[in-house]
Amino acid sequence: MVQLNGYMGKILRVDLSRMEIKEEELSIGKVEKYVGGTGMGARYLFDEVPPGVEWDDPGNRLIFFSGPLGATRISGTGTFSVVTKGPMTNLAGSSQANGLFGAYLKLAGIDGFLVQGTASHLVYLFIHDGKAELRDARHLKGKGTFETEDILRKELGLGHRGSVQCIGPAGENLVRFAMISGDGGHVVAHNGMGAVMGSKRLKAIVVARGKAEIPVKDKVAVEKLTRELHEDARTKGSKRIYEFGTGGGFSAAALGGWLPVKNYSTSLFPEHEKFDGQYLRTHFKMKHNPCWACQLRHCKLCKVTEGPYAGLEGEEPEYEGLATWGPVIGNTDPGATVMLNQFNDQMGMDLNEAGWTIGWAMECYEKGALTKKDLDGLEMTWGNAEAVKEMLQRIANRQGIGDLLAEGVKRASEKIGGEAVNWAIYTHTGAAPRSHDHRGRWCEMLDTCVSNTSTIEATRGGVFPERLGYPPVFDKFSPWEVAVINAKENGWLQFVDCLGICSFCCPNRGLTVQATNAVTGWDLDLQSATHIGRRIVNLLRVFNIRHGLNPALERPSARYSSTPVDGPVKGRPIGPFFDFMVRTYRELMGWDPKTGRPLPQTLKSLELEELIERI
């Protein structure tokens, strides 16, 4: 077996149609070019899923990978990536989750695994003691994600020495935006990863913590860099997250014009301070719920202490949960946000797409495009949390109107037709954005629309060109500057998603590269690391083009790109500049400005010459 620093040297291939599991050696050639995580997943997806294979076809792959930093002492290295062809776009999807799973996978002696085929009934994969097996999961049918976790931990006698990733009713019922959840609510959400898992009748993956040792090149350097990375994140790059979680940016979003309110029909949310992390963490009761080796400890469990949901316990919602179940649906009670966040996770759905779908349905109800009868008797008025909870239940089980809404906001709005289409927030490739008002954050709107993974690819948490040695942002509403910054930034985050580390724990790019070198023994610098990331971006790009990407669809819907009628960015339009930004971005990425296809010289520069003829 191949032995590389930072790697276990083994992957699993799980064939559900044959109920077989085989071990394979990790390819040194793939590691050198694609590192791990998203990179390895993208390469396997490209090689093994040809054009014509749909997202729910047994020939589609569901690929899980950790990375070279996974399960080390470096903070937040329980992260893993999932790559597949997803149902929202029927194109590539890549999403990451934190927690323990990625670390436990490596401690079990495995770098990653590929799932193919379709089982004849619900099963789960159990990885333990250096081996793996498939077990019957029919007793888990219809169970929510938290319930499934609890049952399997007790059934297998694992307690907290095991990690479970699973789907809820939404995944079983092939809700297009179903997600995979594990470790108490760490989710792999974008582009319907849970629906792909459900199409394969794979209810869960369980990994028992093993005793494998992670080979590290320079342990002394890793110890030193572990301290330096954490200190930098705690005091600089992720300072607000360390203090108040991702919700610590909630009021900043409201004041900066990028908080989404009532389906973009307004930009005003005067109640924002009660949703901000600073308020929640000083009023609700909080308990640490850290990921693997994480000293940042931004994940919390919370108990609501005020309002009608006082006494309710659940996860502290991340910023996107607060935005989705707060202002997007017109809810002004943070306690109700905790309730809806917990319930939606239990059902197993991407809260971003779920929120835009619910918000659109509420506006349709307000304006008469959908009646109470159409909505199965539910009063879908703004802020009606109990009606939202019932609707989420119906969506997850595809009951009544929930069957239509389970298709996502783009398809649902097109089915209703008329003016309702103009109120829906989505990209024309098929997926909705994250829970931000990108009319106040142009870089992320451009990124979302031209991304190869159905979600942001270059701009997570904003753009920071100064970290790559470029001048900082001067005008975030300059069409030229937005396009240039996105093109220059793209590649770095894809590299991070190869490493098996939470991006909150490694905002310092120089230290991150040094840590990678210390673990692996490589000699990367910032430029070569970003080069690897751009290779992955272009590989996914070629995959999507071969699978039918229409470049004309890389644009926002009418409401998504509308001009704000009030708030901090009132009257500032993005629509007239969007085509210019896309063309400029493509040129700077080395792609044809009209078709979006990577040019031959671009592929050659990224050591992807073999793709030239295939595109």
Gap between the Cα atoms of 608 and 228, Å rounded: 35
In a domain, 529, yes or no: yes
Q: Name the DSSP class of 160.
A: T
The reply to whether 408 and 448 lie within a common domain is no
User: Which of 208, 228, 259 is the last residue in one of the domains?
Assistant: 208
Cross-strand bridge partners of residue 85: 92
Gap between the Cα atoms of 593 and 209, Å rounded: 48
Quick one: average pLDDT of 569-592? 98
CATH number at residue 320: 1.10.569.10
318-to-149, 185, 306 alpha-carbon distances in Å:
21, 11, 19
In a domain, 222, yes or no: no
The reply to whether 257 and 369 lie within a common domain is yes
Gap between the Cα atoms of 175 and 170, Å rounded: 5
CATH number at residue 491: 1.10.599.10
The reply to whether 380 and 453 lie within a common domain is no
Q: At what angle do helices 578-589 and 442-450 cross, to 10 degrees?
A: 60
Question: Which pLDDT value is given to residue 506?
Answer: 94
User: Which of 182, 208, 234 is the last residue in one of the domains?
Assistant: 208
In a domain, 295, yes or no: yes
The reply to whether 282 and 159 lie within a common domain is no
Quick: pLDDT tens for 520-544: 999 999 999 999 999 999 999 999 9
Torsion on CA atoms 226, 490, 553, 325, rounded to nearest 10? 30
The reply to whether 396 and 276 lie within a common domain is yes
The reply to whether 411 and 450 lie within a common domain is no
Under the banding of pLDDT at 50, 70 and 90, the label for residue 475 is confident
Number of domains in the chain: 3
In three-state secondary structure terms, 22 is strand
User: Which of 397, 423, 449 is the last residue in one of the domains?
Assistant: 423
- Residue 465 predicted with pLDDT over 80: no
The reply to whether 514 and 570 lie within a common domain is yes
The reply to whether 68 and 144 lie within a common domain is yes
In a domain, 221, yes or no: no
The reply to whether 471 and 417 lie within a common domain is no
Under the banding of pLDDT at 50, 70 and 90, the label for residue 87 is very high
CATH number at residue 16: 3.60.9.10
- Residue 149 predicted with pLDDT over 80: yes
Residue 509's domain comprises: 438-611
The reply to whether 354 and 418 lie within a common domain is yes
In a domain, 200, yes or no: yes
- Residue 62 predicted with pLDDT over 80: yes
